[in-house]
């Protein structure tokens, strides 16, 4: 998933009135305002109410749903293999943010302030999850080298500490890369 396609899709969705926040690798790169690595996909957080229009618009662009289903995460892929992972949320002021339904039937709350992130992709301003929330969403699964590197970059640029169980690996990266 290249930067040009990210910008094109964000333009398409925002022009239709759909607010999207970049998450994952592109979200981190947007915060850093630089392209740090190749990306297999584009992770988007979107309000659940906007999912039907988002799906319709991306369908017109050749993206087909291949996995998952709202209200949980779902995946769309085009004929070129470009992948969009959609993470629907319901905003809930009482709980303080975006409520996301996990695959196991639970809920995860994106903190309200997490939607205040701003960054750039290929010079275009984009909304993204904040550095603090980018770190939070890296918790709870087996991380790969790219994930540890993202945690390292977020700490270096924004001073956000990784979860304790990942600190040793991030510290190793800092020792070798500084």
What are the pLDDT digits (tens) for 21-67? 999 999 999 999 999 999 999 999 999 999 999 999 999 999 999 99
Residue intervals of the chain classified under CATH 3.30.460.40 are 3-130
Please state whether the predicted TM-score (pTM) of the whole model is above 0.85. yes
Question: How large is the average pLDDT for residues 75-94?
Answer: 94
Alpha helices in 33-115 (DSSP H): 51-60
Provide the pLDDT for residue 47. 97
Of 3-17, 77-91, 139-153, the one with minimum mean pLDDT is 139-153
Provide the pLDDT for residue 30. 97
**Residue for token pair 């979200």:** 27
Give the number of other Cβ atoms within 10 Å of residue 61's Cβ: 14
Of 8-12, 16-20, 107-111, the one with minimum mean pLDDT is 107-111
Residue 38: CB partners within 8 Å, gap ≥ 6? Answer: none
* Architecture per CATH, 3-130: 2-Layer Sandwich (3.30)
Structure-model confidence comparison of residues 161 and 96, the more confident one: 161
Provide the pLDDT for residue 2. 96
pLDDT tier for residue 175 given thresholds of 50, 70 and 90: low
8 A C-beta contact, residue 83 and residue 1: yes
pLDDT tier for residue 176 given thresholds of 50, 70 and 90: low
Please give the Cα distance from 151 to 153 (Å, whole number): 5
Please give the Cα distance from 120 to 127 (Å, whole number): 8
Question: How large is the average pLDDT for residues 130-148?
Answer: 85
pLDDT tier for residue 129 given thresholds of 50, 70 and 90: very high
């Amino acid at each position: 998933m290249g930067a040009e396609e990210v910008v094109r899709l964000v333009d398409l969705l925002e022009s239709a009135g759909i607010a999207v926040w970049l998450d994952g690798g592109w979200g981190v790169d947007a915060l850093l305002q630089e392209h740090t690595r190749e990306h297999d996909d584009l992770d988007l957080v979107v309000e659940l109410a906007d999912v039907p229009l988002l799906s319709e618009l991306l369908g017109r662009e050749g993206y087909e749903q291949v996995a998952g289903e709202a209200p949980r995460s779902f995946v769309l892929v085009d004929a070129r293999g470009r992948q969009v992972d959609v993470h629907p949320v319901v905003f809930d002021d009482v709980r303080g943010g975006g409520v996301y339904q996990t695959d196991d039937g639970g809920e995860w709350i994106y903190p309200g302030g997490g939607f205040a992130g701003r960054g750039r992709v290929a010079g275009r301003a984009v909304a993204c999850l904040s550095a603090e929330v980018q770190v939070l969403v890296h918790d709870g699964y087996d991380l790969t080298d790219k994930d540890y590197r993202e945690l390292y970059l977020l700490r270096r640029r924004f001073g956000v500490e990784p979860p304790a169980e990942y600190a040793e690996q991030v510290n190793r990266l800092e020792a070798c890369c500084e």
